[in-house]
Chains A and B, each alone.
Chain A
Amino acid sequence: MKYLKTRAQQGKISAKPLGKRILDHWQYYVFLAPALIFVLIFCYAPMYGVTVAFKNYSPMRGITGSAWVGFENFVKLFNLSKFWQVFKNTIVLNFIRLIFDFPAPIILALMLNEVRCHWFQRITQTVVYLPHFMSWVVIAGIMFNILSTDGVINTIISHFGGTPVKFLANPDTFRPLVVISQIWKEAGWGTIIYLAALINISPEFYEAAMIDGASRIKQLIYITIPCILPTISIMLILRMGQIMNSGFDQMFNLLNPSVYDVGDVIDTYVYRIGIVDGRFSMASAVSLFLNIINCAMLVAGDTISKKISGSGLY
């Protein structure tokens, strides 16, 4: 019986006709149906809606009724200097983030992993996970309060004789603050995945290293880090797939007109031209362009990783 079942699973022989097999599983379909309906409505219908990027959308005619214009929206878009500025801002910001944000949870996880005192480790973990559960609205609000001209930081600066800085309205300090606040909020949470990888390292490696007299730092460099490299590379590939996303939640809440030159990114731009100005086709073209770059980066990252380390996403 067991043998028959596995053969049936492999599709080599069909124990029963398809109709009968579907009927046998009807209860599973009941479980699956809500999710399928959901995905069709809320995920696949918008994918069809992307076609407005190739149309001249008019609210009167709707998506299907609007005229096709081919790549006209994209041509118009690529001729906008504003678009290229926003595009550049996005790339620059995300590149800075990749350099600083990506290693932050790895370093923090390695530090937590080195803690030998159990209760201290647990308390630190509790504290560093906490900001993840706050919304960007709250964090941006706190930042505006602390960093305002009469806020805590500027009070301390003036106390030591410095001149107050308008941190969030200054193009020079805006980018670093975006990166720092992102690390502050998510680095702790990001450690979870690396800590899981660290726990799985066999203690025998460390025992052997200790017999050879390797110091803790040497153990860290020659055992711990190589052992979590596969996890790091998977996280990096996934991160590549997000290269054009700058986190609308964060950017939109921190952005103010004085820093549009450096802080206006594609996500906020799409919102402004689409929802605020109502240029649906144009905004849709930007979204689609973004999505294509993200997917291409994901596939590229995956291919490179497979070539180098032999392990990819799939």
Chain B
Amino acid sequence: MSFKRKSLGDNIFDIVNTVILILIGLSMLAPFWHVVVRSVLPYDEAIKSSFVLFPKKTTFEAYKYILRSERFVSSLGISFIVTVTGTVYQLAMTTFAAFALTKKTLPGRKLFFTMFIVTMFFNGGLIANYLLMRGLKMINNVLVLILPFGISCYNMLIIKSFFEGLPSDMEESARIDGADTFRVFFSIILPLSIPVVATFALFFAVDRWNGWYNAMIYINDKSKWPFVMVLREILISNDTESMQSNYVNQEYMVGDSIKMAAVIVSIFPVMIIYPFIQKYFVKGVTLGAVKG
């Protein structure tokens, strides 16, 4: 900045702003720290106080319990499969449609476009969807966690506007060399769009990993639940049946540390991927905002 001299008022403004932002940041991190501490706190420490900033002793019993429990492990497996297949499926559906709609000369383009836009404003609601899923024999079927999440129109429009912003000369020269549309998409458009595709891959993966709504509505068979539903059951319904009950009754606080350890297990994968992809996702989100 060319104006070096700062007034007293501006200095105070800077300091106050920074202090408030630090406090906001700490308030975002504090609950997570609390969860981490509770998950590793041994029973005898945990019953002394519910407010522990730094644990003196730590134990990983709760994590060992989760990784030994068949219920947790099998639901983690389901969540993993749903996340991977669901993300690939949603990415394919969304990028394919976005790519097709970038072709301005496509007959019927306007009609298709309208068909997608309408879905942003109207939806059948819970009951109509429930009846549909029942009609499709998807009740108690793990596919209900994947198939209904094919296209979100809003995301599709953002990806489309990104595709439209790509330089067209590469496509043109590929066409002259005899590349067909499939070739153009997979060898030119897709490789050029890695930042955006990576961003949406993260969004979709997080949604599938965290998604519990469809599981709650459509899946009654608990052995087919994803991890987050099992987590929901022990955290919110407070149903300790999912843990071996004698284990919980003997040492109630151990049950508490299992809950917190389960929370950590649930957010761990997201935390791992998130920093690597952060620089991309701001671009991914704002693209839609700037281009409209």
CB distance from A45 to the nearest CB of B (A): 5
For chain A, which range describes its interface: under 10, 10 to 19, 20 to 34, or 35 or more residues?
Answer: 35 or more
- Contact of B126 with A63 in the complex, beta carbons under 8 Å: no
Interface assignment of A248: CB less than 8 Å from any CB of chain B: yes
Closest to B203 in A: A133
Residues in A neighbouring B259, C-beta threshold 8 A:
141, 145
Whether A31 contacts B105 in the complex (CB less than 8 A), given A137-B212, A141-B259, A215-B7, comes out as: no
Interface assignment of A18: CB less than 8 Å from any CB of chain B: yes
Interface assignment of A259: CB less than 8 Å from any CB of chain B: no
- Contact of A130 with B274 in the complex, beta carbons under 8 Å: yes
Per the bound structure, the CA–CA distance linking A200 and B291 in Å amounts to 12
- Contact of B50 with A152 in the complex, beta carbons under 8 Å: yes
Counting residue pairs across A and B whose Cβ atoms lie within 8 Å, the total is: 262
Interface assignment of B194: CB less than 8 Å from any CB of chain A: no
B residues contacting the other copy or chain, number (CB 8 A): 92
Choose, from A78-86, A94-102, A287-295, the stretch at the interface.
A287-295
- Contact of B231 with A115 in the complex, beta carbons under 8 Å: no
Residues in A neighbouring B17, C-beta threshold 8 A:
111, 114-115
- Indicate which residue in A124, A156, A295 contacts B121 across the interface (CB closer than 8 Å): A295
- Contact of A192 with B286 in the complex, beta carbons under 8 Å: yes
Residues in A neighbouring B176, C-beta threshold 8 A:
none
CB distance from B220 to the nearest CB of A (A): 11
Residues in B neighbouring A77, C-beta threshold 8 A:
none
- Contact of B235 with A141 in the complex, beta carbons under 8 Å: yes
Interface 1/0s, chain B 113-126, versus A by CB < 8 A? Answer: 00110110111111
- Contact of B278 with A126 in the complex, beta carbons under 8 Å: yes
Interface assignment of A221: CB less than 8 Å from any CB of chain B: no
- Indicate which residue in A114, A133, A141 contacts B236 across the interface (CB closer than 8 Å): A141
Interface assignment of A103: CB less than 8 Å from any CB of chain B: no
Whether A42 contacts B96 in the complex (CB less than 8 A), given A111-B17, A144-B235, A270-B126, comes out as: no
Q: Scan residues 4-49 of chain A and give those whose CB is less than 8 A from a CB of chain B.
A: 5, 8-9, 18, 21-22, 25, 27-32, 34-36, 38-39, 41-49
Secondary structure at the A interface, as helix, strand, loop or mixed, is helix
- Contact of A137 with B228 in the complex, beta carbons under 8 Å: yes
CB distance from B36 to the nearest CB of A (A): 11
- Contact of B13 with A114 in the complex, beta carbons under 8 Å: yes
Residues in B neighbouring A45, C-beta threshold 8 A:
124, 128, 132
- Indicate which residue in A8, A253, A290 contacts B232 across the interface (CB closer than 8 Å): A253
What are 21 A-B contacts with C-beta separation under 8 Å? A22-B107, A27-B182, A28-B99, A28-B100, A31-B99, A34-B93, A35-B116, A36-B97, A46-B124, A48-B124, A63-B131, A111-B17, A111-B20, A126-B278, A137-B210, A151-B50, A195-B282, A216-B9, A274-B126, A275-B130, A288-B125
* A-B interface, 8 closest residue pairs, ranked by CB to CB distance from nearest: A46-B124, A287-B125, A49-B128, A141-B235, A35-B97, A135-B210, A27-B181, A196-B286
Instruction: Enumerate chain B interface residues (CB-CB to A < 8 A).
Output: 1, 3, 7, 9-10, 13-14, 17-18, 20-22, 24-25, 27-29, 31-32, 34-35, 38, 49-51, 92-94, 96-97, 99-101, 103-108, 112, 115-116, 118-119, 121-132, 136, 147-148, 150-151, 156, 180-182, 185, 206, 210-213, 217, 228, 231-232, 235-236, 256, 259-260, 263, 266-267, 270, 274-275, 278, 282, 285-286, 289-290
